Amino acid sequence: MTITDVELPTAVSQKFPSATPRASLDCPAFNVPVADVIGLLEFLRDARGYDFLMDLTAVDWSADKSPRFTVVWHLYSSTNHNYVRVAADCASDVEPEVPTSTVLWAGADWHEREAFDMFGIKFAGHPDLRRILMWDGYPYHPLRKEFPLAGLPADFHDPAITAETKTGLIAAPMAGGPFVAKSGEPMSASEPRAKDEAWNEQSEKPE
């Protein structure tokens, strides 16, 4: 059964005055400057028993916001069965970078590769920071907010296929795509046909 870790916020603020509580609907959460993040994670793991790195991901708050990228760690304790969330805003919006947590958990390797692949966040000190879900050489970071749902034209993963077929990837036709009405917007603006970026009355179907 869960034992609530009541002393955690005071313990963290004593050891790391730079860490501030973060708004959360469930577990305790902390905002921490990039410089202190590894120290805080190590403290949570070794002194507070949060031994599992369950998840590591990033959030893009959209291109017009600064700081734009936040990296989020979720730790779990196998002794008191609690979670804790640690979040760090990346200093640069153009070249976001945080230190790697592979020094603490070997399992952070793939999580960080995924965050790099999807958001373009660099994890300084990562032993092998390559793309993991998309192929090497793919030019975009798909989970960034400016990347459209339909996708963007790109070359195939293999130059030989591009040479042979003389074509590349095209954006997906989104007719019939997600149908979500925004509040305060006429319904017609939300219809699949109106939202279709790649293939509608305004722009011709790609050949």
Partner 1 sequence: MATDFSFPDTAAKAAAMPKEFESEKMSLSMGPSHPSTHGVLRIQFELDGEVVTKADPVLGYLHRGDEKIAENMTYNQFVPYTDRLDYLAPLANNMAYAIAVERLANLQVPARCQAIRVLTAEMARVSAHLMGLGAFGIDVGAWSVFMYCFEEREKLYTLFEELTGARFTTSYSRIGGLSRDVPEGWTKKVEAFCDQFLPILEEILGMLTRNKIFLDRTVGVGVISRADAIAYGLSGPNLRGSGVANDLRKDRPYSGYEQYEFDVPVGSKGDCYDRYLCRGEEMKQSIRIIRQVIKNFPGGDWYAKDAKKIFAPPKDKILTSMEELINNFMIVTEGPQMPAGEVYFEAENPKGVLGFYIVSKGGGVPWRLKIRSPSFCNLSILPKLCVGNMVSDVVSILGSLDFVMGECDR
From the list 30-38, 90-98, 105-113, 163-171, the region that binds partner 1 by CB under 8 A is 105-113
Q: Are 120 and 96 in contact (CB under 8 A)?
A: yes
For residues 47-76, which are near partner 1 according to CB under 8 A?
51-55, 57, 59-60, 72, 74, 76
- Which CB sits closer to partner 1, 166 or 182? 182
User: DSSP 3-state assignment of 21?
Assistant: strand
Q: Are 151 and 172 in contact (CB under 8 A)?
A: yes
Which residues 6+ apart lie within 8 Å of 79 measured at CB?
49, 51
Cα–Cα nearest to 66, from 89, 86, 88, 87: 89
Can you read off the two tokens belonging to residue 195? 């939202």
- Which CB sits closer to partner 1, 113 or 122? 113
107 touches partner 1 (CB under 8 A): yes
160 touches partner 1 (CB under 8 A): no
From the list 89-97, 129-137, 158-166, 198-206, the region that binds partner 1 by CB under 8 A is 129-137
- Which CB sits closer to partner 1, 76 or 156? 76
Cα–Cα nearest to 101, from 86, 80, 119, 82: 86
**Cβ 21 to partner 1, closest distance in Å?**
13
**Cβ 86 to partner 1, closest distance in Å?**
12
Q: Are 83 and 27 in contact (CB under 8 A)?
A: yes
What's the CA gap between 32 and 19, in Å, rounded? Answer: 4
Residues making contact with partner 1 (CB under 8 A): 1-2, 23-27, 29, 51-55, 57, 59-60, 72, 74, 76, 78, 81, 83, 85, 105-107, 109-110, 114, 118, 132-135, 142-143, 147, 149, 177-183, 187, 190
